[in-house]
Amino acid sequence: MKLHEYQSKQLFSKRGIRIPRGRVAMTAAEARAIAEELGGRSVIKSQVLVGGRGKAGGIRLANNPEEAEELATEVLGMEIKGLPVRKVLVDEAAEIGSEIYLGITNDRMARSPVMISSAEGGVEIEEVASSSPEKIARVWIDPLLGLRDYQARNLAASMELPRDNWREFEGIARGLYETYVATDASLAEINPLVITKSGELLALDGKIVLDDNALYRHADLAELRDLDEEAPSEREARKYGLSYVKLEGEIGCMVNGAGLAMATMDVIKHLGGAPANFLDIGGGAGAEKVAAALGIILADHNVKSVMFNIFGGITRCDEVARGILMALREVRTDLPMVARLVGTNEEEGRKLLADADMNTAASLVDAARKAIAAAQGES
């Protein structure tokens, strides 16, 4: 779950990281009132859960409250990468001297959090990583020891941060680490962290991605979820307890079990196809859940064929077949589908699908081949 910039910055602020004064507005009139309150110049910042808002024209500098209102009207009418802007953050404008990057995430290979910094702030860190990797510094943090002061100083030194800012930077790095740990985040990022013209460090942008699997112990954070920002498919999947990740390919996959879902995607890739999603319906899924899952797959317009790969254990193949048929009665579609059902009640399941003229397959490879051929229009 991603948090908005304003939510992330408020969490940073609680841990002593300095952020600009400002508030969120839903209307242009509110934005003007906030700008009046702040006095002087302000920035109007679209609050949508994607990066690169600046480049897309979603971050604008207003010289006075009138301009703030005009720009807020514009920004609130925008769509950024397909997401309509519903609120703006109105912040006091900062006098930027230079922009740096500071972030923390999990390094799975190292099995520990890694804090990353770069003097090349303000641009996406992935860009810096590919164009000038030498400008990125990393320190790995032992979770039992926490971030050590010398590690923060190493980052400061590698960025050639002015000496005067080191102590302040150590505080920010510690605050960021504490936020990351306390919220069970998988990413916490300040980009840019700026050195203002008056020589102070200030977090201008903030991004936090929370681990959904840890949300059960953060009721306060779970409440921050912005339902407006969720893709309808994600909302549906969460409602029915499905693990769903949309991908860019054309073959919709419905599988029970995360491991089998991964294997299914691998086989599709291996045979030259591209999966449209990862979808695990979980163990013991009933017809209704299966129907919801198929609805989600069919709502994706990239999908050209659908492959079911069900290993019946606790999940019964006939129940899955009934779910598929139930969904197909609701969502009419001409998309080719292939089902591979094995295990508990497989004969009943296959018979139900065969009676409904669904293509069945004897093995995983057979199913994948048929789904790929169908997606390429060769069936």
- Residues serving a catalytic function are 101, 189
Choose which of 19, 204, 255, 374 interacts with ligand GDP (CB under 6 A): 204
Residues ≥6 apart with Cβ < 8 Å to 47: 4, 5, 6, 24, 85, 86, 87, 88, 89
End-to-end distance of the chain based on CA atoms, in angstroms? Answer: 39
Handedness of CA 234, 239, 242, 243 (dihedral sign): positive
255 binds ligand GDP (CB under 6 A): no
Q: What is the DSSP string of 107-150?
A: ETTTTEEEEEEESS-SS-HHHHHHH-GGGEEEEE--TTT---HH
The whole-angstrom separation of Cα 360 and Cα 354 is: 7
Look up tokens 């995360």; give the residue: 258
Residue whose CB is less far from ligand GDP, 59 or 291: 59
Least distance CB 3 / ligand GDP (angstroms): 13
Q: How far is the CB of 318 from ligand GDP (least distance, A)?
A: 50
Local structure of residue 24 (DSSP, 8 states): E
- Cα separation, 379 vs 201, in Å, equals 61
Report strand pairing: 96-107 vs 88-92.
unpaired
191 lines the binding site for Mn ion (CB under 5 A): yes
In the complex with Mn ion, the residue whose CB is nearer, 130 or 213, is 130
Distance CA 58, CA 79 (A): 9
Give the residue nearest to Mn ion (CB): 205
| Nearer to Mn ion (CB atom), residue 120 or residue 205 | 205
* Rounded distance between C-alpha atoms, residue 280 and residue 308, angstroms: 11
Query: Shortest gap between Cβ of 178 and ligand GDP (angstroms)?
Result: 22
- Segment near ligand GDP (CB under 6 A), from 54-62, 66-74, 226-234, 252-260? 54-62
Q: Report how far residue 189's alpha carbon sits from residue 115's, in angstroms, rounded to the nearest whole number.
A: 10
**Residue 170 contact among ligand GDP, Mn ion, none, beta carbon within 5 to 8 Å by kind:** none
Site residues for ligand GDP, 58-77, by CB under 6 A, read 59, 61
Picking from 15, 10, 20, 5, the residue whose alpha carbon sits closest to that of residue 176 is 15
Binding track, positions 195-234, relative to Mn ion; x by CB under 5 A: ----------x-----------------------------
Binding characters for ligand GDP, 79-98, by CB under 6 A (x = yes)? ------------x-xx-x--
Q: Which of 103, 192, 257, 275 binds ligand GDP (CB under 6 A)?
A: 192
Report what 24 binds from ligand GDP, Mn ion, none; CB cut-off 5-8 Å by kind. none
How many binding residues for ligand GDP (CB under 6 A)? 18
Smallest distance, ligand GDP to C-beta of residue 52, A: 5
46 scored as a contact of Mn ion (CB under 5 A): no
Identify which of residues 55 and 235 has a Cβ nearer to ligand GDP in the complex. Answer: 55
List the single partner that 156 binds among Mn ion, ligand GDP, none, CB under 5 to 8 Å by kind.
Answer: none
Nearer to ligand GDP among residue 47 and residue 309 (C-beta): 47
**Separation of alpha carbons 5 and 106, rounded Å:** 20
- Tell me the three-class secondary structure of 232-299, residue by residue: HHHHHHHHCCCEEEECCCCEEEEECCHHHHHHHHHHHHHCCCCECEEEECCCCCCHHHHHHHHHHHHC
113 touches, from Mn ion, ligand GDP, none (C-beta below 5 to 8 Å by class): none
Q: 210: Cβ–Cβ under 8 A, 6 or more apart, which residues?
A: 1, 2, 3, 183, 184, 185, 186, 218, 221
Q: Tell which one of 24, 72, 76, 99 touches ligand GDP (CB under 6 A).
A: 99
Q: State the residues that interact with ligand GDP by CB under 6 A.
A: 43, 45, 51-54, 59, 61, 91, 93-94, 96, 99, 122, 191-192, 204-205
Q: State the residues that interact with Mn ion by CB under 5 A.
A: 191, 205
